[in-house]
Amino acid sequence: MSDSTPPEPPEPAPPPTSRLRRLAIHGGLFVATCATTWLAGGPAFAATLMAILVCHEMGHYVAARRYGLDVSLPYFIPLPPMISLGTLGAVIRMSSPIRDRDQLLVVGAAGPLAGLVVALPALVVGLELSSVGPIPPDGALEGNSILYGLIKLAVFGRWLPADGVDVMLHPMAFAAWVGLLITMINLLPIGQLDGGHVMRAWLDDRHERISAFLHRGLLAVAVAGGAVLFVVADRAGLGPRAALGYAALAMMPWLVWSLALTGMRSLSGGEYHPPVVGPPLGRAYRRLAIAMVIVFVLLFVPVPMRAPL
């Protein structure tokens, strides 16, 4: 017997005025973020950082559209340059969570990989435009990841910082370093960050337990990093109270990211990531997942920024 129930009509297309309004919002936020990053670091900094962010978000967008998923253009997030680097990055909105395991992996990995395509060449060029000199007492030391330290070693022929000297970063190099830091944060294999998407697609339900463990691990990283910096500052003669304040500033990013992940989990009904469907990843997809874990390890920065002693 045939089913005589008429099919549901397709969703009506949004009116042209609605599409134009959304495009105006996307464009306005993009222009505003260009302005705030320009004020925060100058034209070279803004152009480099915005190029990295655009490529990162468009990597997600293009991959999602390739699978026919309903995804928005990026919403860039400007911030006052007096208290930040001018932006909190960008986000894209999807009508519903990605349930297909293969799609989730590709969409999650596409953003960080696309951003690195811009960030790594920009870092090399920016370092070539930089110089090595004494560390100013009122400056700031950006954290070394394995990859960042090796690229500095390749450009300058020595591991830096060392013996009281470091790279005086050109704005392009600093923006590229920020791009690497943003990529590292996104690749944290927790919850619904890009790295969380990759791990959920790879490990399925085991990812919930791993996310909980690694979420607590962020606090452990904060405490361990703070303890090391407390000892370093105390030996430098700051005294216990000043050394504690020095260590607390280095711990703050991990505490903030831990709170942000707690908020994301709360908004998701208490779970770190929605479930996925489909068979386990094939060999090629598993290799991609492993590659993303390796990228995260190479970009990991225990202490993102600290003052010189």
Task: Please give the average pLDDT of every successive group of 10 residues along the chain, which has 309 residues.
Answer: 45 67 93 96 96 96 94 93 88 87 95 97 97 88 94 95 92 97 94 93 91 91 89 88 86 88 87 88 94 97 87
Read off the tokens for 159: 């591991």
CA distance 235 to 247: 13
Residue 131 has phi, psi (to 5 degrees) of -135, 165
| Residue 128 confidence (pLDDT) | 97
Taking a C-beta distance cutoff of 8 angstroms, is the pair 66, 56 a contact?
Answer: no
| Residue 80 confidence (pLDDT) | 92
How does DSSP classify residue 268?
Answer: T
How far does CA 162 lie from the centroid of its chain?
28
| Residue 4 confidence (pLDDT) | 44
Furthest CA-CA distance within the chain: 87
How far does CA 307 lie from the centroid of its chain?
22
| Other residues' Cβ atoms within 10 Å of the Cβ of residue 265 | 19
For residue 106, the one-letter residue type is V
| Residue 11 confidence (pLDDT) | 52
Expressed in angstroms, the distance from the first to the final Cα of the chain is 82
How far does CA 116 lie from the centroid of its chain?
11
Read off the tokens for 157: 């022929």
> 87 - beta bridge partners?
78
Q: Which residues contact 194 (CB under 8 A, 6 or more apart)?
A: 108, 109, 111, 112, 186, 187
Nearest to 49 by CA among 194, 157, 141, 169: 169
Read off the tokens for 242: 């000043």
Nearest to 105 by CA among 288, 298, 299: 288
Q: Which residues contact 9 (CB under 8 A, 6 or more apart)?
A: none
Taking a C-beta distance cutoff of 8 angstroms, is the pair 148, 180 a contact?
Answer: yes
Between helix 240-267 and helix 206-235 the angle, nearest 10°, is: 170
CA distance 122 to 47: 11
Taking a C-beta distance cutoff of 8 angstroms, is the pair 289, 199 a contact?
Answer: yes
Taking a C-beta distance cutoff of 8 angstroms, is the pair 168, 130 a contact?
Answer: yes
* pTM, rounded to two decimals: 0.89
How far does CA 15 lie from the centroid of its chain?
35
> 75 - beta bridge partners?
91
Ramachandran bin of 8, using left for φ above 0, alpha for ψ from -120 to 50, beta for the remaining angles: beta
Read off the tokens for 243: 């050394």
How does DSSP classify residue 97?
Answer: -
